């Protein structure tokens, strides 16, 4: 491994961003943020608590009720979003280096993320300028309009695997809609979100519209979800936490948008192009060390091509270069923490206990240069039983499980036999087969002869326990809007319905 020194980007402020300024947390506590590739401490950020979250909600509530942003024209809001995108591109090197230090992913992935973040802001800038309400049919002399109004104050809670990208999926449409918000990044990876607060301020966002509060979900997150002044709660993360958030928000009838991950099958049929399918199967599961909500960690391979497919994938996986993200030769970085690595290793042990066989990996790398990081070798597990926990639960690591299937119907039945339904891939040379499969797959996204692509224009979200609502696309904007019916009567006249006939 190349032992070149890590990058040294300008670090963001270490305190919560509330009402237009970075200010110390009430308790004055700190949490050390470490690089998962080396264990080196990057920054000690403020460990905020419920009191800080409540101050941030107060700022967002005041800013929204004053209406400076909520009542701004779509053109004015779009101009700020365009400015954010331009500033992110100007500071692309800094943001990418911060993201790599914070998450451990290779710089190439962080640079791609940054480009997609700028694209999301530009997409919603264009969408809000071109999206209006509807004119409904009404009686002569009157007009019925369906108008789109900002939903209000939004609490946003984002995960650690794609800190800036996931933040952009919420921040950009919320700002486009005219909402004000409080954003809590993961306590593990807050750096780029805090840097984003600087960018939003520089772009000209009024004070109080955007607020960022660091801290644990049990204190800051809980306060943001339960605060009665919050109109919408948007959360991306684990299913169990999402269920708690949904119950808490339901107690006060607040709207929720939940993206809760999934167990994503990758179906490879007997007629697939095996060279391409095997190549993309590697992308599906080992990108960002498998720490992706849509990771294709469950391979359903037709029995006619199973052995050849496993051989192709394993030969390539054995050559994946592990290392620190700033080494240009690195293909896969570490897991986010030692604790998460232990959780992933637990799933490997569970798979073997359920009757599967370890075909590749399953260990930590022996390279002394990697000992300080949370690395795990690319792992392939075969003969996984379809009725076990590992076939149904999200692993969130560089572990591919393989199941033999007998044709399309068997593959579809097994793919759908989970509680989640975020994304799925289907590999076949026949379009007719792919369309039949898409009709039957209960997943929010289905890829044919591909895995992982998404676009700001297309909605993202899942069926079943994978969440509620959608991010991206027009649907992503509507999550932060309310419909208002406006009826205009230009020729009012008495109805005489009550008491008009006299004694």
Task: Give the residue numbers marked as catalytic.
Answer: 259, 293
3-state DSSP call for residue 21?
strand
User: Interhelix angle for 306-317 vs 274-286, to 10°?
Assistant: 50
For residues 102-135, one letter each, b for 16 or more C-beta atoms within 10 angstroms of the residue's C-beta and e for the rest, the string is bbbbbbebbbebbebbbbbbbbbbebbbebeeee
User: Interhelix angle for 92-103 vs 163-177, to 10°?
Assistant: 130
Q: Give CA–CA dist 339/44, Å, rounded.
A: 20
Q: Give CA–CA dist 41/8, Å, rounded.
A: 12
- List, edge to edge, every strand of the sheet that includes 481-489: 134-136, 142-150, 481-489
- C-alpha to C-alpha distances, 283 to 258, 324, 450, nearest whole angstrom: 26, 19, 10
Q: Which residues pair with 257 in a beta bridge?
A: 234
Q: Give CA–CA dist 173/45, Å, rounded.
A: 27
Q: Which helix (H) or strand (E) holds 136?
A: strand 134-136
Q: Which helix (H) or strand (E) holds 438?
A: helix 431-440
Q: Give CA–CA dist 92/111, Å, rounded.
A: 7
Report DSSP letters for 405-425, one per residue: E-HHHHHHHHHH-SSEESEEE
């Amino acid at each position: 491994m190349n032992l070149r020194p890590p990058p040294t980007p300008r670090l963001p402020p270490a305190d919560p961003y509330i009402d237009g300024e970075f200010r110390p947390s009430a308790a004055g506590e700190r949490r050390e943020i470490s690089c998962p590739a080396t264990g080196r401490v990057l920054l000690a950020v403020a460990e905020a608590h419920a009191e800080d979250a409540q101050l941030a909600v107060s700022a967002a509530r005041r800013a929204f009720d004053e209406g400076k942003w909520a009542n701004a024209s779509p053109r004015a809001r779009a101009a700020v979003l365009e400015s954010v995108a331009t500033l992110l591109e100007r500071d692309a090197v800094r943001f990418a280096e911060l993201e790599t230090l914070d998450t451990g992913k290779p710089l190439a992935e962080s640079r791609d993320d940054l480009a997609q973040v700028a694209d999301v802001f530009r997409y919603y800038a264009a969408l809000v300028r071109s999206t209006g309400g509807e004119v409904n049919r009404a009686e002569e002399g009157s007009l019925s309009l369906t108008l789109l109004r900002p939903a209000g104050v939004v609490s946003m809670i984002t995960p650690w695997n794609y800190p800036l990208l996931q933040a952009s999926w919420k921040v950009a449409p919320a700002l486009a809609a005219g909402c004000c918000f409080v954003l809590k990044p993961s306590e593990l990876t807050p750096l780029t979100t805090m840097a984003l607060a600087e960018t939003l301020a520089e772009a000209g966002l009024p004070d109080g519209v955007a607020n960022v509060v660091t801290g644990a979900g049990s204190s800051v997150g809980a306060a943001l979800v339960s605060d009665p002044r919050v109109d919408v709660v948007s959360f991306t993360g684990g299913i169990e936490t999402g269920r708690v958030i949904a119950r808490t928000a339901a107690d006060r009838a607040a709207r929720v948008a939940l993206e809760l991950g999934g167990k994503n099958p990758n179906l490879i049929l007997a007629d697939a192009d095996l060279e391409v399918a095997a190549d993309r199967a590697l992308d599906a599961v080992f990108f960002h060390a498998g720490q992706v909500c849509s990771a294709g960690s469950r391979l359903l391979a037709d029995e006619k091509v199973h052995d050849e497919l496993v051989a192709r994938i394993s030969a390539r996986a054995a050559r994946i270069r592990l290392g620190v993200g700033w080494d240009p030769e690195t293909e896969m970085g570490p897991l986010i923490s030692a604790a998460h690595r232990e959780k992933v290793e637990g799933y490997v042990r569970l798979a073997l206990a359920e009757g599967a066989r370890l075909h590749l990996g399953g260990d930590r790398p022996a390279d002394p240069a990697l000992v300080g990081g949370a690395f795990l070798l690319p792992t392939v597990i075969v003969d996984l039983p379809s009725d076990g926990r590992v076939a149904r639960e999200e692993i969130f690591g560089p572990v591919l499980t393989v199941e033999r299937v007998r044709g399309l119907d068997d593959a579809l039945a097994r793919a759908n036999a989970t509680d989640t339904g975020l994304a799925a891939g289907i590999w076949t040379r026949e379009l007719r087969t792919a369309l039949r499969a898409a009709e039957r797959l209960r997943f929010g996204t289905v890829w044919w002869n591909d895995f992982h692509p998404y676009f700001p224009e297309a909605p993202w979200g899942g069926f079943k326990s994978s969440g509620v609502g959608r991010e991206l696309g027009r649907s992503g904007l509507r999550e932060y809007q309310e419909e208002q019916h406006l009826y205009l009567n230009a020729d009012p006249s008495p109805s005489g319905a009550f008491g008009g006939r006299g004694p």
